[in-house]
Structure 1
């Protein structure tokens, strides 16, 4: 799946090992800088084709138009009952402030719908105020932990949100 290339980036589904490598590097940078890379982070980041795509999800990669350099990414993890998790969103520090995060969230919402999703949830942290603002602008609302489709969720996620 590919999205409009007239914007500041081209967004498409993960296709190559270089996409998987960029997904790992972009996420490892911010998670390691602000938090601790957890075992589940390593597992998902290390095998996006096996851990995300093979189970019905997707990883969207934002690239510079024409150049192909990955500058951002976001994952959609599939859960039962047409539920998806928006996760592992990252924008390269040098590319921040250009609206790429907003474009990635919009593309992820569209992709989740295309995959049959009826509910999208995410976990974030109060340290990531710009991300929380971005999600709220996209229509996500805060929820309590008991609304999650999983019982064991990231320790760093102190803000939980969903979009129906």
Structure 2
């Protein structure tokens, strides 16, 4: 299967991190970071050592696969005390708009619930309007101020997930 063949999200499955997928996690994230922003030191730390910086502290990395091709990824970073951050979300450029991002977020929400998380947040940029609309559509709510201790210079958006079923 070719990643650019215009397949619908229905042929995509969510798969977990494996060491042989670390390069795809890095590639997909550098693709959007280099296009829209500057790659920051924290980005490099996470992308260079996903096991040590994401998995070992209690997080999770998910991938969207179409056939043998990895076409998307996201990470759930454990921020301590039941708090998690949705981070490092990226979909292959020629596969955007096909529902893959939504599948990744839904899988991340399932992982958050499985882990008994009490808070889920994300930091983003107002320059990424399609992503922000997607986050809002699954229950992330824009906060009036940035998160205290925000990680990234590019972040000017802070959102917290509220389960639509509990509102």
TM-score (norm 2): 0.87
Equivalent in the alignment of 2:19? 16
Equivalent in the alignment of 1:154? 152
Q: 1:98 and 1:27 mapped to 2: Cα distance? A: 18
Q: 2:124 and 2:118 mapped to 1: Cα distance? A: 20
2:29 counterpart of 1:27: yes
Q: 3-state DSSP class of the match of 2:130?
A: helix
Q: CA deviation at 1:34?
A: 0.4
Q: CA deviation at 1:23?
A: 0.4
Q: 2:121 and 2:43 mapped to 1: Cα distance? A: 17
Q: Which runs of 5+ in 1 are unaligned?
A: 1-5
Question: Structure 1 residues 152, 137: closer, same or farther in 2, change over 3 A?
Answer: closer
User: Equivalent residues in 2 for 1:15-164 (5 A)?
Assistant: 15-17=18-20, 19-64=21-66, 67-145=67-145, 148=147, 151-164=149-162
Q: Which runs of 5+ in 2 are unaligned?
A: 1-8, 163-167
TM-score (norm 1): 0.89
Q: 3-state DSSP class of the match of 1:130?
A: helix
Answer whether contact 1:63 1:72 (CA < 8 A) is retained.
Answer: yes
Deviates more, 1:115-124 or 1:84-93: 115-124
Q: CA deviation at 1:97?
A: 1.6
Instruction: State how many pairs are aligned.
Output: 154
Q: 2:150 and 2:98 mapped to 1: Cα distance? A: 34
CA deviation digits over 1:85-104, x for unaligned, max 9? 00000000111121101111
Q: CA deviation at 1:16?
A: 2.6
